[in-house]
Chains A and B, each alone.
Chain A
Amino acid sequence: MKKLVLGISGGLSFLIFLILLITTNQIIGAQDTQQMARRWSKENDAAQVSCFFAADSETTEDTILMFEHGIDSALTEASVVQESENPGARLWADAYSADGKITLSNNKTSVTADAIGIGGDFFLFHPLTLINGAYFSGNDLMQDYCVIDKDAAWQLFGSYDVAGMTVYISGIPHIVTGVVERPEGRLAEAAGLEGTLVYVSLETLETLGTSYGINHYEIVMPDPVTGFAYNHVKENLGKEENATEVVENSARYSLLSRLKLIGQFGVRSMNGKGIIYPYWENMARGYEDILMILTLLQLLTLLYPVILLLIAFIIWWRHKGWTLRDVRLKAKDKLERLIERLRAARAVKKGTGEPFSGESLPKEKSSGKRFRRRKKRRRKTFEDDFEEIEDFL
């Protein structure tokens, strides 16, 4: 009975492990903001790196521009060149953003909302669920666009189908290019998504709204050797340890990173930097914690059946009733019989001998009753040993 309980518990534990494994992979796969490298390169030779700046770091668009100018030469030095035949193909893409507040109005009403001023290909990194319309880019010719969330669309127009409508920001008309679904849930709200959120160009936020300064930068670029992209960003944008933090998004959910995170338990929450994380980084960090727990559970649920299997194997090994010498002799016997049979068949074919009956060879002593006897004895001893283990557990 105990053996059955142990077997079932081991199986259940492994089942739970498999469920946890699938859940973990699903959670990782659902983190769109962290999967840019996979989307960017199917060959898995790119890395996504984020850099977060403290409020007093005074990062400007010129800082970013200077950094961007250095990327191509760094890639050339690393012998990374564009191989695509598509004339518009790029080796890397980046985005930067600033938090702030902005007031949108139309002829009827106005909404003051949290705003993210974007530059570069922000929505390439943050493919939010579009309910209507399209994204815009910081590289577009015009920068008088905005993407609003469902709340803002409802408050301003009473509808979600508002792509192409005009809103006024400090009297300047802006075109709503799209309406997005704002991530919801306990984590999202805790991450800073509890209120209405709109996305405008950085230029609009800085000139017509209240900007807290550029505090996030993201890039996806070739990673010819592990850590190349991370080190390049770290050396060129993240030199000031106290004012910046560099994260390699594409590696943050790997098994190694999760195991390292378990090792950092207790010290991970300590932060001496004046950095306010954006909502997507807060959520990513939240999921890091969740995944850390899941990984820990995975380890435990895998460890239990593995230990049981190991013990079972040891017991079976100890009471197996045969030795390697037995196996060798048996195999030798089989081989000799086979050779003898072949010889006899050849003799019959030539008409000079008789068919092989097997009686010419001596019978192996360890066959027949003797084996059965051993097996019976072994089963008995095996059961006894299991009882011993159950008592021990």
Chain B
Amino acid sequence: MDENARKKREWVKTAAIIFLSVMLVLTFFSNTIMNYSLPEVAIQYVQSGTVTAKIRGSGVVESGDPYNVEVKESRKVASVAVRVGDFVEKGDVILYLEDEESEELKTAQDALDQAWNAYEKALLSDATTAAALQISNSGTSVSTYRQQLTNAQKVVKDAQNRVDDLKEQADVLSNRISNMAGRDEDIRGLQEWVNNTLAAKNDADRNKKSAQSHLDALKGYQKQWENEMDYWSQLSVSSGNAGNTDKVAEAQNQIANLQRALEENQKAILDAEAALNEATIEFNNKEAEWTKATNALANETAVTKGDLERQLANVNEELTNANAVLKEKTDLLTEMTGALGQGLNLGEQMEAITKAQEKVDELTEKSIGATVTADISGTITALNVVAGNTTSAATPVAVMQPEGKGFSMSFSVTNEQAKRLAVGDRADLVNAWRFDDVEVVLASIKPDPNDPGQKKLLTFDVTGAVTAGQTLNISVGQKSANYDYIVPNNAIREDNNGKFILVVTSKSSPLGTRYVATRVDVEVLASDDNQSAVSSGMLTGYDPVITTSTKPVEAGKLVRLAENN
């Protein structure tokens, strides 16, 4: 029993020793163990500096002002005398063409035959007049004929206007004659109008005179009071000199009263003058009306029915003459127009024959021993035919880069990228060491025809040792801007509270220094390929920012710095 109890005690003692030993070891190494359970982070320090957003793109160098060498005929190529990249002087042969009658020559010959047929048909037509033939052969310019036609049209128009006027006069006279029966009543009416206007005129005259007399009376008062005021003013001065203050006071009092009376009278005078003007205008109006009525009555009583009938006969005769003139002029215009049309048509047909003949002659000359030569000096940048091919008017046989002209290249960018560029920006070549003295400058920013809403087409002027067809990779960007806080791109994180960075803060503890990831909300101001400029009120300028970590790091959690930090 004792043995058992002793064994049990031994066992408990051993277990306790083991437990305490383990606890001791764990306590000693707790810092190390905890450190290795924490996520290891790499840090970089917030810096100040520049951020430059570069736009990169690739494009094929093209001739800035390419010259297309074209052959308008369909001709078979016998041989090509140049190669791409060759420099040719003006007049140098580019292609040799085989001797043959081209399709264009056959077509031109047919066109010439048709033109002759059309002309001869027109000549034999019944409608063709001598005048037309004369016009077609006169050689007078079309503008001259056009002027003649315009003049004739004007004459006809004037004649027509004269006829219209006379018709209107005849209508007025006819109406007056037919209305002669009610004439006495008209005269009575006019007489009554005269009487009324005369009475009104007399009233207005009386009013005018009354206003005038009122004004004169007011002016008389004005004069009288002014004299009195002079009197009292002199009295005041003389009394003042004599030392009679009572008299001076009385004079001053009188002067003040007169001053008020004068002012009121002045206002009354102004009102009276306005009333007089009004009455005068009224009188003049009534007088004019009376004169008008009197004249109307005089006119009405002066004209008789016989007078009107004679006038109507004259107008009708004049109208007949005018109609005759109008017809004559219209006929002349019609004849002139027809003759001109025919004549000019014949002239045009003859001109077409001449042109067709010239073309046939030109193509006939080219059909034997023909060559295609360079019209300008320059470099051949493209050859679209080889020996045996047939040329086409739609496709240039060769493209030349004119001597002394630059190159261009273009590529498409998004609207957002285009916003950061300006015409005149100088671009850098991505592999600048491969090129010698090549300069690329942004020449234009236009909507991309393939996607005008979303993209812009950048066109660059390229100068230097490049050739058409070469692909260039360039980068172009806005000028660098200075920022206070710049962090690597991989330091920027985001959640629904916006973008943020994790800054490592340290705090001392009994077991050593602890590092904590602290969230700092930031606003990204600009970015380039590697770094971003940020703004935040919580950054001091030399904060350690977490860039990468071995495990996901959350704000507020402990972290372990990588050894190279």
Q: Mark A17-52, 1 if CB is under 8 A from B, else 0.
A: 000000000000000100000011110001000000
Judged by a CB distance under 8 angstroms, whether A89 is at the interface is yes
Chain A residue, CB-CB nearest to B430? A173
Interface status of A144 (Cβ within 8 A of chain B):
yes
Instruction: Say if the beta carbon of A142 comes within 8 Å of chain B.
Output: yes
Known contacts: A133-B490, A135-B490, A172-B58. The answer to whether A84 contacts B496 by CB under 8 A is yes
The smallest beta-carbon distance between B150 and chain A, in angstroms, is 60
**A142 contacts B529, CB within 8 Å?**
yes
A86 touches B58 (CB 8 A): no
Residues of A within 8 A of B529 (CB): 142, 145, 164, 175, 177
Contact with B along A89-125 (1 / 0, CB 8 A): 1110100000000000000000000000000010010
Residue total for B at the interface (Cβ-Cβ under 8 A): 31
Residue interface bits B488-523, CB-to-A below 8 A is 1, else 0: 111000111111100000000000000000000111
Cβ contact within 8 Å between A142 and B499 = no
Answer whether A40 and B490 are a contact pair too, CB < 8 Å, given A141-B53, A173-B56. no
Chain B 422-438, CB-CB to A under 8 Å as 1, else 0, gives 00000000100000000
* Residue from A84, A135, A141, A178 in contact with B417 in the complex, judged by beta carbons closer than 8 Å: A141
B548 beta carbon closer than 8 Å to chain A: yes
A162–chain B nearest beta-carbon distance, Å? 14
A contact residues around B390 at 8 Å (CB) = none
B496 x A127 contact (CB < 8 A): no
Partner of A86, one of B54, B521, B547: B521
A86 with B490, Cβ < 8 A, contacts A141-B527, A144-B56 known: no
Main secondary structure of the interface of B (DSSP, over half): strand
The residue on B at minimum CB distance from A29 is B552
Distance (Å) between the CB of B421 and the closest chain A CB?
A: 11
Report yes or no: B54 in contact with A42, Cβ–Cβ below 8 A: no
What is the CB-to-nearest-CB distance from A200 to chain B, in angstroms, rounded to a whole number?
A: 14
Residue among B56, B496, B500, B547 making CB contact with A40, cutoff 8 Å:
B496
Q: Which of A46, A87, A164 contacts B530 (CB 8 A)?
A: A164
B497–A89 CB distance below 8 A: yes
Residue B55 CB within 8 A of the other chain: yes
Query: In the complex, what residues of B have CB within 8 A of residue A166's CB?
Result: 430
Asked whether B307 is an interface residue with its Cβ less than 8 Å from the other chain, the reply is no
Contact A41 B495 (CB under 8 A): yes
A89 touches B552 (CB 8 A): no
How distant is the Cα of A148 from the Cα of B544 in the complex, in angstroms?
27
Give the contacts of B418-461 with A (CB-CB under 8 A): 420, 430
Whether the Cβ atoms of B471 and A86 lie closer than 8 Å is: no
Is B58 a contact of A46 with CB atoms below 8 Å? no
In the assembled complex, A134 has its CB within 8 A of some CB on chain B = yes
- With beta carbons under 8 angstroms apart, the residue of A46, A142, A177 that contacts B56 is A142
B473 close to A172 (CB less than 8 A): yes
Q: How many whole Å from B271's CB to the nearest CB in chain A?
A: 72
Residues of B contacting A387 in the complex (Cβ-Cβ under 8 angstroms):
none
Report whether B496 and A41 are in contact in the complex, using a CB–CB cutoff of 8 Å.
yes
Shortest C-beta distance, B7 to chain A (Å), equals 22
The minimal Cβ–Cβ distance linking A270 to chain B, given in whole angstroms, is 36
CA of A391 to CA of B99, assembled, Å: 117
Contact assessment for B552 and A91 in the assembled complex, using a CB-CB cutoff below 8 Å: no
- Measured between beta carbons, the chain B residues less than 8 angstroms from A171 are 58, 471
User: B206 to chain A: closest CB distance in Å?
Assistant: 84
User: Can you name the residue of chain A whose Cβ is closest to the Cβ of B521?
Assistant: A86
B416 contacts A by Cβ under 8 Å: yes
Mark each residue of chain B from 153 to 192: 1 if its CB lies under 8 Å from any CB of chain A, else 0: 0000000000000000000000000000000000000000
Cα separation A87 to B489 with both chains bound (whole Å): 18
Residues of chain A with a CB closer than 8 A to B552's CB: 32, 39, 127
Q: Are B524 and A134 in contact (CB under 8 A)?
A: no
Scoring B residues 459 to 496 as 1 if CB is less than 8 Å from chain A, else 0, what string do you get? Answer: 00000000000010100000000000000111000111
* CB-based nearest A residue for B529: A175
Knowing A141-B416, A142-B56, A177-B529, say if A130 contacts B548 (CB, 8 Å).
Answer: yes
A140 part of interface (Cβ distance < 8 Å): yes
Please tell me if A266 contacts chain B, counting CB pairs below 8 Å: no
What residues of chain B lie closer than 8 Å to A91, measured between beta carbons? 496
Tell me whether A89 and B498 are in contact in the complex, defined as CB-CB below 8 angstroms, given that A141-B53, A142-B55, A173-B56 are known contacts: yes
Whole-angstrom CA separation of A173 from B497 in the bound complex: 36
- CB pair A88 B548 closer than 8 Å: no
CB interface residues, A 50-85, toward B, < 8 Å: 84-85
Min CB gap A38→B, angstroms: 10
B496 touches A90 (CB 8 A): yes
Q: Which residues of A contact B53 (CB under 8 A)?
A: 141
Among residues of B, the one whose C-beta sits closest to the C-beta of A170 is: B58
Query: Smallest CB–CB gap between A138 and chain B, Å?
Result: 12
The residue of chain A having its C-beta at the shortest distance from the C-beta of B489 within the complex is: A134
Say which residue of B58, B417, B473, B521 sits within 8 Å of A142 (CB atoms): B417
Q: Which residue of A lies closest to B495 (CB)?
A: A40
- With a cutoff of 8 Å between Cβ atoms, the chain B residues found around residue A142 in the complex are 54-56, 417, 529
Are B473 and A86 in contact (CB-based, < 8 A)?
A: no
A121 to B417, CA, bound (A): 18
Interface flags for B522-565 (1: CB within 8 Å of A; 0: not) read 11100101100000000000000001100010000000000000
Residues of B within 8 A of A177 (CB): 489, 529
Q: If A127-B552, A142-B417, A172-B473 touch, does A84 touch B56 (CB 8 Å cutoff)?
A: no
With both beta carbons as reference points, the residue of chain A lying nearest to B549 in the complex is identified as A130
Q: How far is the CA of A127 from the CA of B430 in the complex (A)?
A: 31
Interface set of A (CB-CB < 8 Å, partner B): 32, 39-42, 46, 84-91, 93, 121, 124, 127, 130, 133-135, 140-142, 144-145, 164, 166, 171-173, 175, 177-178, 222
12 further A-B pairs in the complex, CB-CB below 8 A; given A90-B494, A90-B496, A173-B473: A39-B552, A84-B498, A86-B497, A88-B523, A89-B498, A133-B490, A134-B547, A142-B56, A144-B56, A145-B529, A172-B58, A177-B489
Instruction: Please name the 3 residue pairs, one residue from A and one from B, whose CB atoms are nearest each other, closest first.
Output: A86-B498, A134-B490, A89-B498
> Which B residues have a C-beta under 8 Å from some C-beta of A?
53-56, 58, 416-417, 420, 430, 471, 473, 488-490, 494-500, 521-524, 527, 529-530, 547-548, 552
A-B contact pairs, 28 of them (CB 8 A): A39-B495, A40-B496, A42-B495, A85-B521, A86-B497, A88-B498, A88-B499, A88-B524, A89-B496, A90-B494, A90-B496, A90-B498, A91-B496, A93-B494, A121-B494, A134-B488, A134-B489, A134-B530, A134-B547, A135-B490, A141-B416, A141-B417, A142-B417, A142-B529, A144-B56, A145-B529, A177-B489, A177-B529
